[in-house]
Amino acid sequence: MTLLEKHAAKVDVFVDVCHHLARHQYVTGHGGNLAWKLEEDAILITPTQRNKGEVTRETVVFLDRDGNRIEGTERPTGETPMYLKFFAERPDVQAVLHCHPPHLNAFAIADGAEELMRPFFPETITEVGPVPLVPYGEPLTQRLADHFSPVLTKYNTFLMENHGMVMMSPWDLRWVQMCTDLIEMTAKHIILARSMGYPLKELSREDVANLGNVMRTRGLPLFGAPGAWARLEDLYFD
């Protein structure tokens, strides 16, 4: 049995998420890519130089943990070195998504904007967490992948300077897609609030600490690698 046949249901989800990103213009042209670790040595990944709205079951690629193609006829995304680093250094991670949501990406070119590291909405705090800025690196390079090293074990969502977003999760790819929608809407809300000219209002340390109860009730793990943080409020307050 081929991997495509064995994981048919997950491949269908993978393709649907690709199409979702294209419909919402989170990706344009050949931009964006996705990867889903289906087995310890089998990673489902998008093909290179394809619009995500045109990805099909027949065009997806399977790699082993070293990046060798083990199934599929197309070449994998040029961002493969980045994904291999993520899965190697964050063995807890199952799914990774990279895209360019327009409101969120505004923060990638807004010099000094740090609102995505602050606690504004309960859902964003418990499902996405803070979003640090990763310094610019040339796309498709190991240099870009290496720029994640200082923050990779501490968070699950990252904004690449002058580039786009990366989100990873120990849960499945559908969860990552929904959280991508959530952080994009959060970014839109921040931009709208800033346009009103009023100061932004954050939740307090106590409020964030209490949201830890929500995470425990829902079975949501703290962000970053297991053991990186002791309490939710530690992510937002020194």
Tens-level pLDDT at each residue, the chain (238 residues): 999 999 999 999 999 999 999 999 999 999 999 999 999 999 999 999 999 999 999 999 999 999 999 999 999 999 999 999 999 999 999 999 999 999 999 999 999 889 999 999 999 999 999 999 999 988 877 888 899 999 999 999 999 999 999 999 999 999 999 999 999 999 999 999 999 999 999 999 999 999 999 999 999 999 999 999 999 999 999 8
- Residues 167 and 158: their CA atoms lie apart, in Å, by 6
> Contact at 8 Å (CB) between 10 and 38?
yes
pLDDT of residue 191: 97
pLDDT of residue 167: 98
CATH number for position 208: 3.40.225.10
pLDDT of residue 143: 85
pLDDT of residue 106: 97
pLDDT of residue 82: 92
> Contact at 8 Å (CB) between 99 and 21?
yes
Domain range holding 30?
3-235
Q: Please choose, from the candidates 166, 174, 152, 164, the residue with its C-alpha nearest in 3D space to the C-alpha of residue 225.
A: 152
Rounded to two decimals, what is the model's pTM? Answer: 0.95
Count of domains for the chain: 1
Q: Alpha carbon of 222 to those of 59, 130, 233: distances in Å? A: 35, 11, 10
> Contact at 8 Å (CB) between 35 and 57?
no
